[in-house]
Chains A and B, each alone.
Chain A
Amino acid sequence: MAETKTDATIDLRGVMCPINFVKTKLKLEMMSPGEVLEVILDSGEPIQNVPKSIKEEGHRIVEVKKEGDFFRLKVERS
């Protein structure tokens, strides 16, 4: 998968559910449609829940990379 360019990054390692999702949501709301936010999430509960919620809000997850104990997601704002 080709590297997607990102417009902003939010590092949510160590941030609990559902605060991590709320922060993602707020950040996305500050961005324009089509812009890409990079979200860094811990494995375990955060990666189980946050992607589901991002999808349910209508945003698109365009890239996912696992890096050791965490995930790097790229989310396109709807």
Chain B
Amino acid sequence: MTDHFIQDKTTKVTVNLEGAEQKMDFNDLKSGGFIKQRQKDLFTVRLRCPGGRLSTEKLIEISKIAHKYSKKGVVHFSFRQSLEILYVDYKEFNAIVAELEKIGQKVASCGPRVRVPTACGGCEYNPNGLTDTQKMAEMVDKTFFGTPTPHKFKTSFSGCPIDCARTKEMDLGFQGVVDPKWEEEACTGCTICAEACKEGAIESDPDTGKPIFDPLKCIWCGDCIRACPTEAWRPKRYGHIVRIGGKHGRHPMEAVEVCSFLPDEKVADAIRLTIEWYNANGRRGERIGNTLKRVGLDNYLKFMEPVFQNNQAVKA
């Protein structure tokens, strides 16, 4: 992927098309999603696929459009789960956008704004999933996509601590967690939970076989709940670990954990307030991780108190 986003060059592009004069809507370019290729006049058109999910119906239609407009007949899966149609001539931008619009497919964005959220499969069909990451990604895309920020702003949703959506590398990441609760009456002392726990957070009492739980070792994956034959381990609450300030690229940074059990219904507030803080404190071209370093994490946490309040220890 290149950094040669056309938006920096749009003003220099003259509408000097061979033959008939054609009008180009440069606002379409500025909102991003059109990425200049090495090849003269050819661009990559990045589609907007939150969570990387597409209906097969739409995929068929996209395939037809891609086949018609890609000069080389190829697409590419972007690193953020969206489909990119390669080798599209800029003279055909209006036409391809119109055709995509007709099937309800929007073009993605580049540049300093909230990007399309990524997500794993989540609890809908993945056995490990604890949160409905797809639903959350859809919500974030609808509510925040394209919101201007000092620099790019990437979000992602992982449904469990395996963290396939790499929340530790996001500007703002949400990773599903579950708080397990144990009921002695239902427990038969079978010791399966202690075997199922990969973190060593559960040991079996040598006499009774019943679990001895160490919350400091627990990473809230819910393996004990899923393995328990008698439902003695049950979910007490589900939520998201919130991580901020991560990035990859030339100088990767690991995100810091700022909230431990944020419920679904507070995710939108957390994003809205974080964007507000970032826009108030961030310098142009500065990722939020660097803003946090410069301004201080405490400043951010104070600002976020209304949302994060009762949500446990902060591991900074």
Contacts and interface: CB of A to CB of B under 8 A. Distances in A.
A64 B127 contact: no
A52 B188 CA distance: 17
Contact of B229 (A44, A55, A56): A55
Given A48-B198, A52-B127, A64 B226 contact: no
A12 interface: no
Interface stretch (B23-31, B147-155, B189-197, B244-252): B189-197
A71 B229 contact: no
A51 B196 contact: yes
B266 to A, nearest CB: 30
Interface string A18-51: 0000000000000000000000000110011001
B227 interface: yes
B264 interface: no
Contacts of B190: 64-66
Interface band, chain A:
10 to 19
A71 B192 contact: yes
Contacts of A73: 229
A47 B196 contact: yes
Contacts of A43: 195
Nearest to A60: B229
B188 A51 contact: no
Contacts of B61: none
B195 A47 contact: yes
A71 B230 CA distance: 16
Contacts of B188: 1, 64
A6 to B, nearest CB: 16
Contact of A56 (B127, B195, B196, B198): B127
B198 to A, nearest CB: 7
B179 interface: no
Interface in B173-201: 188, 190-192, 195-196, 198
Contact of B227 (A52, A62, A66): A52
B127 A51 contact: no
A62 B231 CA distance: 11
A52 to B, nearest CB: 4
Given A1-B188, A48-B223, A52-B127, A64 B196 contact: no
Interface of A: 1, 43-44, 47-48, 51-52, 55-56, 60-62, 64-66, 71, 73
19 contacts: A48-B196, A48-B223, A48-B227, A51-B196, A51-B227, A51-B229, A52-B223, A52-B226, A52-B227, A55-B227, A55-B229, A56-B127, A60-B229, A64-B190, A64-B229, A66-B190, A66-B191, A66-B209, A71-B195
Closest 10 A/B residue pairs (Cβ): A61-B229, A64-B190, A52-B226, A47-B195, A48-B196, A51-B227, A52-B227, A66-B191, A51-B192, A64-B192
